[in-house]
Structure 1
Amino acid sequence: MKIGVVGAGIIGSSIAYHLGKAGARVTVFDIGEPGNGVSSTSFACLNAFGQAEADLPFRLDAIKYHSVIARDVGSERNLHTTGTLRLASFGNAAEKLEQNAKALSQYGSQVEFISAAAAGRLEPSIRTESAAEVVFVPEEGWVNAGALCGALIDLSTRRFAVRYRRERVQALERLQSKARLRLTTGIEVFDSLVLAAGNDTNALLTSAGFMPLRLTAAPGPLVDLTCSLGSQGVRRAIYADKLHIRPGDHGGFLAGVVAAAGDGPEHERKEEERRSLISSASQWIMNFAEMGQRWAVGVRPMPADGRPMIGPIDEDRALYVAVMHGGITLGPLAGRLVAAEIVQENEASELGAYRPRRSIAQDADWREPTLSLDRSM
């Protein structure tokens, strides 16, 4: 079986690895190095907390599978299951925190309510005294997503029949029960083609005459913070009201903020989030004003209903789509399930709620907003 995978972020890299492991001949296409796109500009937290209750079992299984894949590819040093610490400083947020904690615990997840003082002892660089409610979730954590993508592709190309090509995919073409890729170097035909192309998904679908999915792209600022002299940094992922913080992949902090509400112009939402991040970081992080700052923008793929889109897009199953927000958490497990569906031709029950056909735009005028992919700010 000859399979093409478009995109080498965490989802595409995992799909390619598991397809290769199952004996398929795989070619992965990306314009850059593995994990060098959205996966490298993501907060990359492994979390289930606060997600829709229907998605919690899949999320919790996906977090556990990160330990399996890390052992398989020898990337344990990139996985940090040190738990997440969640703080809320005012009434409504504290109530929501408690509700989410109870929902997660009903699925067997360990959730600990601790005091603000105890949180301060866990993370001395965070101002915890204003927290009205604090929850610690030991099984969650974060991953160096770019390094994991690199490890998956490296092992795949060394051990399995997987090739990696740095080449731009210009368009898709239908060919009866097969799929054709139009590349800069010509046409290539595959028995099955997987789109793990994130924000480029709809452009590729419509190039072959398919209706687009209800999928948008949301730019979100992240900031790498250089620790000031004497700062202890942080040891785990922390969610404090709108702010989220974790250790940086190369030292210091990585910080982001909850997406701005509304559907205003891209530049306005991005600037609103940047101001919110600065305000929240000033409130929660000690010595924030003294830290060096390097800004980036991650352009996140966002299904309209917030749930993953995973599955075949056509009746003959020659074209398969895997796109989602939360891909860092879900990517490795989704990759295993997708590979099994394609090679064994058996549907995975875990993916039944996430089929992309539920979200095909019926309106031919549906279009994604045009976004600038410039990651500097």
Structure 2
Amino acid sequence: MSTRIVVVGAGIVGAAVAYEAARAGGDVVLIDKALPGSGVTADSFAWIGEPRSGDAVDASTALRRGVLRDWRRWEADVPGLQVRWRGVLLCGEGEPTTGAARLEPHLREPPAHAVFLESHGAVDPVAVTQALVRAARSHGARLMANTAVAAFLMRDGRVAGVRWSGGGVDADTVVVAAGADAPALLWPLGFDLPVTPSPALLMRFAAPPGLVRTLVVTPELEVREAAGGELLVADAYHGEIDHDELRQAGEAMRRRLVATFDTHAVQLLGVRLGARPMPADGLPLIGPVPGVEGAYVAVMHSGVTLAPSAGRLIASELVGGVDAAELAGLRPARGRT
């Protein structure tokens, strides 16, 4: 009999787990209170990359080091999944260079120092999530959208599935991949998941196609081109409390873009406020819920970057029964006695 897995949350992480588990032969049900990719996944800047040689090493480094290889695997295996492999230009870092002007000819003042990370890229996280869900379904997974999980099914002291208004489904393992909603889902099980919402802004601008060619990071902004010349900019949250204040933040960023790039043809299209799920120590939380057999958690930042590697390793644990060494330091039980 196939391993029965219910995945709660159809953002990019939940979709990754559902795809990899179904592909590995699991009997998978993917459940979301809305549509796949409609939560915080849609608010992601979606820069994907691996640690650099000088970066600090922590318990997530082993997981992060393989993500670009897994992204290329997905690109080859998942129909319709695309990555924009344009590299990342880190302005103000590294050695003196004259190459920034070649990479980004529309910069008004090319940086004297810059690092170009050619292997990095970016994705449309909603399109990727939808492609993963389609691929998961092609391997037999079932999707239940617009279905809010109300409670866990419990039998003999262990989690044995989930239920919602008017129905339920049994499972050998329930994977909670619901981002910032995960703590509330797990609280009735007696587990306090150390995750809080971390707000951030994602801004969209109309601009001439090709104005930004790579993903550009300066001390003042992070910007990349999406489809049709539209620009995406990630910005910190500064306490905006209504649409007028979000628009004002967007207009301030528009002026910054015009000051940085040689054009005045930039128009603000919109600003979204997203609540990223941020573990208390900044490290992913992946593994069995302590003291609750049958429950498994998969919550992390950045979920977009880590999704293919995390999904693959979680599937190997739940379907293949093989503990992943890369996840050893990321278990939810860490720091508890």
Aligned mates of 1:13, 1:114 — CA distance in 2: 42
Query: Match of 2:192?
Result: 212
Q: State whether structure 2 residue 116 is matched by structure 1 residue 136.
A: yes
**What's the CA shift for 1:316?**
5.7
8 A contact 2:251–2:268 mirrored in 1: no
The 8 Å contact of residues 311 and 355 in structure 1, kept in 2 or not, is answered as yes
Give the number of the structure whose residues are more often helix, by fraction: 1
Q: State which of 126, 146, 165 in structure 2 corresponds to 1:146.
A: 126
**2:299 matched to 1:294?**
no
Partner of 1:91: none
2:311 alignment partner in structure 1: 335
TM-score (norm 1): 0.79
- 2:76 aligned with 1:71: yes
Q: Which residue in the other structure is 1:81 paired with?
A: 85
Gaps of 5+ in 2: none
Match of 2:211 in 1: 233
Which of 132, 136, 161 is the aligned partner of 2:140?
A: 161
SS at match of 1:180: strand
Pick one of 158, 176, 186 that aligns with 1:195: 176
Root mean square deviation of aligned Cα: 2.6
Equivalent of residue 229 in structure 2, options 251, 276, 284:
251
Deviates most, 171-180 or 40-49: 171-180
User: Per-residue deviation at 1:248?
Assistant: 1.6
> Structure 2 counterpart of 1:195, which letter?
V
Aligned pairs for 1:1-377 (under 5 A) are 1-49=3-51, 52-54=56-58, 55-76=60-81, 78-88=82-92, 97-98=93-94, 113=95, 115=97, 117-129=98-110, 131-158=111-138, 160-166=139-145, 167-175=147-155, 176-206=157-187, 208-228=188-208, 232-258=210-236, 267=241, 277=253, 280-287=256-263, 290-315=266-291, 317-358=293-334
- Per-residue CA deviations over 1:11-43 (Å, capped at 9, x if unaligned) read 111100111111111100013332222111100
**Deviation digits for residues 102-161 of structure 1, max 9, x if unmatched?**
xxxxxxxxxxx562x4212211233343x3420001111111111111111112112x22
Q: Secondary structure at the match of 1:344?
A: coil
Gaps of 5+ in 1: 89-96, 99-112, 363-377
Contact kept in structure 2, 1:80 and 1:142, CA below 8 Å: yes
Checking the alignment, whether the CA contact within 8 Å between 1:20 and 1:156 is kept in structure 2 is yes
1:220 offset after TM fit, Å?
1.1
Structure 2 SS opposite 1:12:
helix
Change (3 A) 1:36 1:340: same
Q: Distance between the aligned counterparts of 1:37 and 1:329, measured in 2? A: 16
Scaled by the length of structure 2, the TM-score of the pair is 0.88
Write the letter of the residue equivalent to 1:292: L
SS state at 1:357 partner: coil
Bigger drift between 2-11 and 270-279 goes to: 270-279
Q: Tell me the SS of whatever aligns to 1:219.
A: strand
2:30 maps to amino acid: V
From the superposition, tell whether residues 180 and 247 of structure 1 become closer, same or farther in structure 2 (CA, over 3 Å). same
Could you tell me how far 1:343 is from its partner in structure 2?
Answer: 1.4
Identical residues among aligned pairs (%): 31
Alpha-carbon distance, 1:214 to partner: 1.5
